[in-house]
Amino acid sequence: MKNNPLELLMNPKSIAIVGAGNNPMKMGAIQALSIIKDGFPGKFYPVHPNEKEVFGYKAYPSAFDLPETPDLVMFVLPAPLIVQVLEDFGKIGTKRAIVITAGFGEIGRAGKELEEQLKETARRYGIRFLGPNCMGIVNSDLPLNVTVTPLIGPPGYLGMASQSGTYITQTLPYLKQRGIRFSKAVSVGNEGDIDITDALEYLGGDEQTRAIALYIEGLKDGGRFLEIARRITPYKPVLAQYVGGSAAGARAGSSHTGAMAGPDYLYDGLFKQAGIMRVESVEELYSQGWVLAAQPRLKGRRIAVLTNSGGPGTAMAHVCNEGGLEVPAFSNQLQAEVKKHLPAQGSFANPVDLTFNIDANVLSKTLPELIMKSGEVDGLLIHGVMGSGFLKAIYPHLVDLVGEKDPEVFAAQFIGDLEEPLSLPRKYGLPMVLSSFFGREDIFTAAYQDHDIPVFYGPEKAARGMLALHRYNLIRERPAHDPAVIPIRSEEAVRIIEEALGNGQQVLDEYSSKKVLAAYGVPVSEESLARSAEEAVLAANSIGYPLVLKGCSPQIAHKTGRGLIYLDLQGEDDVRRAYGAVVDAAGQDIPVLVSKMIKGEREVMAGMVRQAGFGPCVLFGLGGIFAEALSDNTFRLAPLSKADAIEMIGGIRAAGVFEAFRGLPQADKNALGEILQVVGCLGLLHPEIAEIDLNPIIINGSDPVVVDALMIMRNNTLEV
């Protein structure tokens, strides 16, 4: 981590802000106040051409007037002025910068040109910078806050890197109300230099950070992101929200930070490959990230549900079961112990339902400790612990009975000792997650949150918080990543491709595509190319019946529905008739492919596409004529390791078809995985190939065989 550019940037001993003034309504002043008021222990130097003093600190007119070279400089001034001022700081030796100012790559061509000037100047002086168009950083450990919102409270454990500045600054009050605290937070903005992958790498090596949250609008280098993430996720959980996968999301991201968005399915595959847990909202990013950062790891799948109401308990149990956790019935002995503390109508098997009970000690201490120490559970979900919030809520109905009192004083007399309930997760090493409909106005909610025990404002959300721990367990249980093995480039494949390009072809026909695959050991159907009916008959007799005849031309990609495929041919007459029919349907004298008919009830597909910032990406999914309609597929970045390929096969909704069922043997997943690995390697070894489509791959008994293939070269105007 010492080589990471954020190490010095996050831990400066001196900071200069260019544009820091005394007007508290301007960003330069607000950010200066955050540095001053939030406890930064180093030196602070305002830089302003007119002000003599900023909030009691001597101001300096330029970089050359500073008493020392600052470790970090921040720029909050008009975009056209920044390049020259950055050069001034480069001349005095400053090596880190944060460019808050917007008006660069996100606004169009003129902004991009200005951003290139900024990057060139920084490179010339060896300056690494965040931004432009960002909101700065938070380091709660130093402490250092250069954002526009105060940082209040002790250091936290959740690291955040965001392509939106709002999510590390405007949300600080929101997070405080939920007991969530950052360890470090980084707004990367346009990523002119330091990017979100650098931030991920830094947070992965930061001892204070126990879990990492990422807000992503687009990645510039998916391969590097994957490499870094794979190093981190086996020992530290990472969550991500990606919002650039839709047309609207990509358009907004581009205008926001100039981000390079890509199809949602590619990012989904990237996250799975990297071991990153994807979430759908920034609320989940924070709340589930906090559970992962603040609570002990789950040791198993057994969850106890404890509540004072049947509805929330049922909801939590349902979400747990749906997500792969168990809510097992307690042993007879534990049920008997629990029953002693419940009213007659209570439920004691698990979920435990006290029904309405305002004795918070039973729900917060007695039963949780009894259940935790039993050894029968791995985690505990609780709903309904409430005290002062509830009592203050009902106080208007009680005032005539108890007399006029301060509601706070009235509520406090019913609250017992909180110390023991708050110590339970640490005492037993088990995660505990709560749900309540009362916020920090309730003494229990506030106390739990202040002691790093998550409280969600909804039972289902609390259960999903517990599921986040389970999801991370599944990631940690994955086989260790084995580096992908890239084969030696096949000279036969090179010859086929170069010959096609030399002929001006933009597509390799099925026959040539299969020859390329076979050169890398991929099993393909036995076949021969015929240019006359007699050649077709000779090939058929050599290969053996039953057969398939298909038109084979680089000008025709999709043959189904065009009268260009004839199946289950049983003799010479069938072959002659099919040959004539194919040529007639094509409207031209095209070669015909004579192939051994491969039979099997399971069809899958594989493919490769290229995406800017990702390189070759491998597709796997259900195949055949319904492939597009069912859209049951998954993607990964090439090259694939064996574990990547096997995980892809198990990652589609219909993965069960590869198991033995209804008289069919189990499919050879290793052989299928090897096909996927080759498909990815073809994209790396042969950059001339733009796309690969293998559909269908038929599972013949246990063995996968490619029975149709197409490779598209460069740009094309293919007839489909």
pLDDT per residue over 51-85, tens digit each?
999 999 999 999 999 999 999 999 999 999 999 99
Q: Do domains 295-476 and 481-520+598-720 have the same CATH topology?
A: no
| % of the chain beyond a pLDDT of 90 | 78
pLDDT at residue 720, rounded to an integer: 38
Query: Do 556 and 563 meet the contact criterion of CB atoms below 8 Å apart?
Result: no
pLDDT at 283 over 70: yes
Strands (E), 269-415: 277-278, 303-307, 352-353, 379-383
pLDDT at 640 over 70: yes
Beta strand 277-278 with 238-242: parallel, antiparallel or unpaired? parallel
Q: Which CATH number fits domain 481-520+598-720: 2.10.70.10, 3.40.50.10260, 3.30.470.20, 3.40.50.880?
A: 3.30.470.20
pLDDT at residue 413, rounded to an integer: 57
Cα–Cα distance, 73 to 99 (Å, whole number): 9
Is there a cis peptide before residue 70, judged by omega within 30 degrees of 0? no
At residue 364, what are phi and psi to the nearest 5 degrees?
A: -95, -30
**CB neighbour class for 221 (10 Å; exposed up to 12, middle 13-18, buried from 19):** middle
- 3-state secondary structure at position 185: strand
**Average pLDDT for residues 464-469, to the nearest whole number?**
98
End-to-end Cα separation, the chain, in angstroms: 51
pLDDT at residue 466, rounded to an integer: 98
User: Positive or negative, the Cα torsion across 618, 622, 624, 628?
Assistant: negative
The domain ranges of the chain are 6-292, 295-476, 481-520+598-720, 526-596
Instruction: Record the tokens describing residue 128, joined without a space.
Output: 């690494």
Question: What Cα–Cα distance (Å) separates residue 360 from each residue in 348, 356, 393, 417, 622?
Answer: 17, 11, 16, 10, 53
pLDDT at residue 254, rounded to an integer: 42
**526-596 is classed in which CATH architecture?**
2-Layer Sandwich (3.30)
Give the pLDDT band of residue 414 (cuts 50, 70, 90).
low
**Average pLDDT for residues 278-296, to the nearest whole number?**
98
> Which residues are paired to 184 by β-bridges?
139
pLDDT at residue 402, rounded to an integer: 65
Instruction: Record the tokens describing residue 490, joined without a space.
Output: 């096949």
Please give, one letter per residue, the 3-state secondary structure of 472-537.
Answer: HHHHHCCCCCCCCCCCCCCHHHHHHHHHHHHCCCCEECHHHHHHHHHHCCCCECCEEEECCHHHHH
Q: Specify the fold of 295-476.
A: Rossmann fold (3.40.50)
The total number of residues shown for the chain amounts to 720
What is the enclosing helix (H) or strand (E) of 605? Answer: strand 602-611
Question: What Cα–Cα distance (Å) separates residue 516 from each residue in 494, 595, 638, 682?
Answer: 8, 17, 18, 9
Q: Specify the fold of 6-292.
A: Rossmann fold (3.40.50)
**CB neighbour class for 124 (10 Å; exposed up to 12, middle 13-18, buried from 19):** exposed
Query: Do 670 and 597 meet the contact criterion of CB atoms below 8 Å apart?
Result: no
pLDDT at residue 255, rounded to an integer: 39
Cα–Cα distance, 367 to 388 (Å, whole number): 20
**Average pLDDT for residues 487-514, to the nearest whole number?**
94
pLDDT at residue 358, rounded to an integer: 62
44-53, 131-140, 549-558, range with the lowest pLDDT: 549-558
Give the pLDDT band of residue 121 (cuts 50, 70, 90).
very high
What is the enclosing helix (H) or strand (E) of 424? Answer: helix 419-428
Specify the amino acid at residue 14.
S
Name the residue among 200, 245, 219, 273 with its Cα closest to residue 680. Answer: 273
162-176, 483-497, 503-517, 578-592, range with the lowest pLDDT: 578-592
At residue 586, what are phi and psi to the nearest 5 degrees?
A: -75, -25
What is the enclosing helix (H) or strand (E) of 25? Answer: none
What is the enclosing helix (H) or strand (E) of 690? Answer: strand 689-700
For residues 553, 557, 563, 565, the Cα torsion angle rounded to the nearest 10 degrees is 80
Helices (H) and strands (E) in the chain, counts: 27, 30
Kindly give the residue spans of alpha helices, DSSP state H, lying in 215-301: 222-232, 247-257, 264-274, 282-294
The pTM assigned to this predicted structure is 0.92
Instruction: Record the tokens describing residue 507, joined without a space.
Output: 């597509």
- 3-state secondary structure at position 242: strand
Name the residue among 491, 416, 511, 450 with its Cα closest to residue 708. Answer: 511
pLDDT at residue 250, rounded to an integer: 44
pLDDT at 439 over 60: yes
